């Protein structure tokens, strides 16, 4: 008998034995057995979290264990699959977790499946959380999630290019004002145009994501897409102005804007292909050490339009499902996440949700992005996305196709009018 | 005097008919032509084979090379095939991540149980369908195929709820059962075609020699189709090993499999290409080894139907 045959038989035999053993025991290799309703037992809870946010809560969990004795097991899932998983478990009434970290856009969808946590929103807490987030956490009169960390788009720019004497002189000569981090749409346009030369581009234009254009809509003085009464306002003058500004930057950006998303824009900037980018603040601290732009990047608050500076916050909220049998322990963990919120800043993602946590770090070297982030999140025109359960559908089926057609040269007025009809149909 | 004799004397008459060649020479020309034809056919086949190899192999090679790149190299614009600087950092990061080893064990457990379940159910089902040829058998095999036409997400969510309601939430068994729903129809179809290729005479001879029907199946038919069983096992194993959606919906702490962990490198705030490709490369090793180990059986299984008739 050949060695290969012997091995094959051994593998088969081993496999069958394993299968029989596992059928008999039903065990897995990952951790403690969860009981229905979420937790692995008294004094232990399961926390469902998007993979990128896991590290944010690791330190909190350790501290919470010391303070309250509660063991925290993390269920880590990729972002793209998390919504399906949450929908599946909430609709079945059988949840495998006691706390869920929810993207802000999901709050309206899951408002009936999570518990009010009003008691955690004391006056002190409300004062230490950015106003837009306090507003967003309150759905139908109850607070249903405590922000664990938040983000917003700021301006990242090539400090070395901006400080170059020749660039400064040339820019001054051409545009009649000093080259510095842009504060207005006009400045952003001028600087983008100025640096678009010799194989380099002034900025990127992201056709595959909608948040950035929506930030410009806020800067132009309009609520995003829907007004307070859920009327569709996507065809108003501010949306048109913001879209024209957005599309107008395409001539100072790499070609193929329709397909540029966050990852592509981040790569372009980190590779030194663009002089500026409007990007989530966390990216400042994630520039690879071996990147051509490492150590050469500056950060500034998001640019302003006629309504001033504005950004779209990107917070994640900790919520407690109604179906959990460990409400007390779950709420204790949420409280821990607030109390030790600044620990998230030491994680890979490096974000927090409390104003005081950002302020504690803002003057330290390496955290230069925090001041612009605080300024953007505190800006009066900054607002969260509309509280509708259809929001993700609106984004995927209307807003992104609209942007892709617009950056490809479509008629912006016609596109906005068409988008209005589509959104009205979706909301019927 | 005949025309022929005149021609003989005056030399050959003008004609389009080629002069007859000696038999040996004509054969030589044909053989050379045939060999030249064979050579060009072989060359074309080699080119097609090479193209297919590049088509199938390049994505894996690119993944492998990316796993050895530095972070900035992985996102280079334009992308490079070979790393500018080779590093094992991605492997250290990927394998050092919490839960990776456990997820490997879970993947192995789930795939083994699912494969075993598929074979245990598919072999007798396929045998019954091919040997008894009843109308209900034909309906059954068509119905099995129909289950493949339902989008997995449509059954994934109710299946997850069902498993939770019977206390199997977050267990490898639950995921194995879910994976079996994917691999079983294919296994039944594959095994049916393998059983069809085995002449009934073999079983009849075994019966004459005193075997029962089950004895003939076990002692005669199963050994003949062992190559087919290996092929079916590989397909069932791969279906489970690489499955993502059910694993995403049905696993949490105890039974999360590696495809979900690999996907976790893509987050809302970034994509760690290096670690993701490193873990994917490591995850492909068991399947490559298994395929190499069972290579002979697989080839035998693939050609099983070829001797029919």
Residue A163 distance to chain B (closest CA, Å): 25
Choose, out of A1, A30, A154, A262, the residue to mutate when testing the contact with B (most B CBs < 10 Å).
Answer: A30
Considering only CB atoms, which chain B residues are within 8 Å of A263?
A: 75, 270-271
Which architecture, in CATH terms, is B100-307? Orthogonal Bundle (1.10)
Residue B249 distance to chain A (closest CA, Å): 5
**Residue among A40, A89, A273 minimizing CB distance to B77:** A273
Quick check: A369 contacting B, CB < 8 Å? Answer: no
The pLDDT value given to residue B6: 39
Burial class (CB in 10 A: 0-12, 13-18, 19+), A100: buried
Q: Do B253 and A75 touch (CB under 8 A)?
A: yes
The pLDDT value given to residue B3: 42
Q: Provide the Cα torsion B176, B178, B181, B187; round to 10°.
A: -20
| Same topology between domain A44-150+315-353 and domain A153-312+385-427 | yes
Report, as ranges of residue numbers, the positions in chain A whose pLDDT lies below 50: 1-4, 6-7, 21, 24-25, 32-36, 39-41
Quick check: B190 contacting A, CB < 8 Å? Answer: no
Which chain B residue's Cα is nearest to A39? Answer: B253
Hey, which residues 220-279 in chain A have their CB within 8 Å of chain B? 263, 266-268, 270-271, 273
Considering only CB atoms, which chain B residues are within 8 Å of A31?
A: 102, 253-254
**Residue among B71, B75, B269 minimizing CB distance to A282:** B269
- Tell me: domain A44-150+315-353, CATH 3.40.50.410, correct? no
A142 DSSP 8-state letter? E
Q: Do A11 and B290 touch (CB under 8 A)?
A: yes
Quick check: B71 contacting A, CB < 8 Å? Answer: yes
Choose, out of A9, A26, A28, A262, the residue to mutate when testing the contact with B (most B CBs < 10 Å).
Answer: A28
d(CA B112, CA B152): 21
Q: Provide the Cα torsion A72, A77, A78, A84; round to 10°.
A: -130
CA angle A53, A68, A123 (to 5 degrees): 70
Domain boundaries, chain A: 44-150+315-353, 153-312+385-427
Q: Is the peptide bond before A214 cis (omega within 30 degrees of 0)?
A: no
Burial class (CB in 10 A: 0-12, 13-18, 19+), A175: middle
Q: Do B267 and A53 touch (CB under 8 A)?
A: yes
Token digits of residue A350: 């490096």
Residue B300 distance to chain A (closest CA, Å): 14
Residues B121, B184 contacting (CB under 8 angstroms): yes
Residues A402, A217 contacting (CB under 8 angstroms): no
Query: Could you report the average pLDDT of every consecutive run of 10 residues in chain B (309 residues)?
Result: 40 53 56 84 93 91 94 79 92 91 94 95 93 88 84 86 86 94 92 89 87 86 89 92 93 91 86 92 92 78 56
Residues B278, B67 contacting (CB under 8 angstroms): yes
**Residue among A50, A266, A292 minimizing CB distance to B268:** A50
Q: Do B170 and A96 touch (CB under 8 A)?
A: yes
Which chain B residue's Cα is nearest to A45? Answer: B253
Q: Do A282 and B156 touch (CB under 8 A)?
A: no
**φ, ψ for residue A300 (rounded to 5)?**
-140, 160
Please identify which residue in the block is written with the tokens 């993700």.
A392
Considering only CB atoms, which chain B residues are within 8 Å of A79?
A: 266-268
Burial class (CB in 10 A: 0-12, 13-18, 19+), B88: exposed
**Residue among B116, B256, B296 minimizing CB distance to A15:** B116
Which chain A residue's Cα is nearest to B113? Answer: A19
Nearest to A287 by CA among A363, A368, A358: A368
The dihedral of CA A330, A135, A261, A230: what is its sign? positive
Which chain B residue's Cα is nearest to A32? Answer: B254
Domain boundaries, chain B: 30-66, 100-307
What fold does the segment set A153-312+385-427 form as a domain? D-Maltodextrin-Binding Protein; domain 2 (3.40.190)
Hey, which residues 8-67 in chain B have their CB within 8 Å of chain A? none
Which chain A residue's Cα is nearest to B120? Answer: A16
Hey, which residues 104-133 in chain B have their CB within 8 Å of chain A? 105-106, 108-109, 112-113, 115-117
Q: Give the count of Cβ contacts less than 8 A between chain A and B.
A: 183
- E strands in chain B: 266-267, 270-271
Each residue of B158-204: pLDDT tens digit? 888 888 888 888 899 999 999 999 999 999 999 999 998 888 888 88
Each residue of B125-158: pLDDT tens digit? 999 999 888 898 888 888 888 877 888 888 888 8
Considering only CB atoms, which chain B residues are within 8 Å of A99?
A: none
| Centroid of chain to Cα A139 | 20
Nearest to A18 by CA among B105, B104, B236: B105
């Amino acid at each position: 008998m050949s060695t290969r045959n012997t091995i094959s038989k051994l593998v088969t035999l081993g496999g069958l034995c394993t299968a029989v053993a596992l059928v008999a025991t039903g065990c897995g290799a990952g951790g403690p057995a969860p009981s229905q309703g979420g937790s692995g037992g008294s004094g232990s809870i399961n926390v469902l979290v998007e993979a990128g946010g896991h590290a944010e809560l690791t330190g909190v969990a350790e501290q919470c264990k010391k303070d309250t004795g509660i063991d925290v097991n993390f269920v880590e899932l990729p972002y793209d699959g998390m919504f399906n998983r949450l929908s599946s478990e909430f609709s079945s009434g059988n949840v495998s977790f006691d706390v869920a970290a929810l993207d802000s856009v999901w709050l309206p969808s899951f408002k009936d499946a999570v518990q009010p946590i009003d008691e955690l929103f004391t006056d002190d807490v409300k004062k230490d959380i950015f106003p837009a987030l306090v507003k967003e956490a309150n759905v139908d009169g109850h607070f249903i999630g405590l922000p664990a960390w938040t983000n917003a788009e700021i301006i990242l720019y090539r400090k070395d290019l901006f400080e170059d004497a020749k660039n400064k002189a040339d820019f001054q000569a051409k545009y009649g004002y000093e080259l510095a981090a842009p504060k207005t749409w006009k400045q952003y346009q001028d600087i983008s145009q100025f640096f678009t030369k010799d194989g380099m581009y002034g900025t990127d234009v992201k056709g595959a994501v909608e948040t950035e254009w929506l930030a410009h809509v806020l800067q132009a003085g309009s609520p995003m897409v829907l007004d307070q009464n859920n009327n569709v306002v996507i065809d108003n003058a501010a949306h048109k102005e913001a879209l024209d500004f957005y599309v107008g930057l395409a001539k100072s950006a790499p070609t193929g804007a329709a397909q540029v998303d966050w990852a592509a824009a981040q790569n372009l900037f980190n590779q030194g292909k663009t002089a500026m980018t409007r990007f989530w603040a966390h990216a400042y601290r994630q520039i690879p050490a071996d990147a051509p732009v490492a150590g050469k990047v500056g950060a500034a608050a998001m640019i302003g339009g006629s309504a001033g500076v504005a950004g779209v916050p990107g917070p994640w909220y900790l919520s407690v499902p109604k179906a959990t049998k460990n409400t007390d322990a779950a709420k204790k963990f949420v409280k821990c996440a607030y109390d030790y919120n600044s620990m998230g800043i030491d994680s890979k993602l490096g974000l927090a949700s409390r104003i005081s946590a950002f302020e504690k770090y803002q003057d330290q070297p390496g955290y230069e992005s925090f001041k612009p982030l605080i300024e953007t999140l505190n800006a009066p025109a900054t607002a969260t996305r509309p509280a509708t359960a259809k929001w993700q559908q609106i984004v995927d089926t209307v807003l992104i196709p609209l942007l892709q057609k617009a950056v490809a040269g479509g008629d912006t007025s016609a596109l906005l009018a068409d988008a209005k009809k589509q959104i009205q149909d979706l909301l019927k | 005097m005949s025309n022929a004799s005149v021609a003989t004397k005056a030399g050959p008459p003008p004609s389009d008919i080629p002069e007859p060649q000696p038999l040996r020479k004509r054969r030589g020309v044909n053989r050379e032509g045939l060999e030249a034809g064979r050579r060009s056919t072989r060359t074309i086949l080699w080119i097609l084979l090479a193209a297919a190899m590049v088509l199938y192999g390049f994505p894996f090679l690119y993944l492998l090379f990316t796993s050895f790149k530095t972070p900035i190299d992985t996102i280079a614009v334009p992308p490079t095939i070979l790393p500018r600087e080779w590093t094992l950092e991605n492997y250290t990061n990927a394998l050092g991540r919490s839960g990776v080893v456990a997820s490997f064990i879970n993947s192995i457990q789930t795939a083994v149980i699912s494969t075993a379940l598929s074979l245990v159910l598919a072999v007798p089902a396929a045998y019954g369908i091919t040997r008894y040829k009843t109308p209900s058998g034909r309906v059954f095999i068509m119905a099995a195929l129909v289950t493949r036409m339902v989008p997995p997400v449509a059954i994934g969510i109710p299946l997850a709820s069902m498993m939770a309601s019977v206390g199997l939430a977050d267990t490898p068994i639950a995921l194995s059962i879910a994976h079996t729903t994917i691999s079983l129809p294919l296994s039944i179809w594959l095994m049916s075609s393998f059983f069809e290729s085995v002449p009934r005479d073999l079983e009849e001879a075994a019966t004459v020699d005193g075997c029962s029907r089950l004895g003939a199946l076990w002692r005669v038919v199963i050994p003949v189709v062992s190559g087919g069983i290996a092929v079916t096992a590989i397909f069932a194993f791969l279906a489970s090993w690489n499955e993502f959606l059910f694993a995403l919906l049905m696993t949490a702490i105890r039974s999360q499999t590696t495809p979900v962990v690999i996907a976790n490198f893509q987050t809302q705030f970034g994509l760690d290409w290096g670690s993701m490709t490193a873990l994917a490369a490591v995850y492909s090793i068991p399947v490559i080894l298994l395929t190499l180990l069972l290579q002979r059986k697989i080839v035998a299984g693939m050609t099983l139907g070829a001797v029919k008739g």
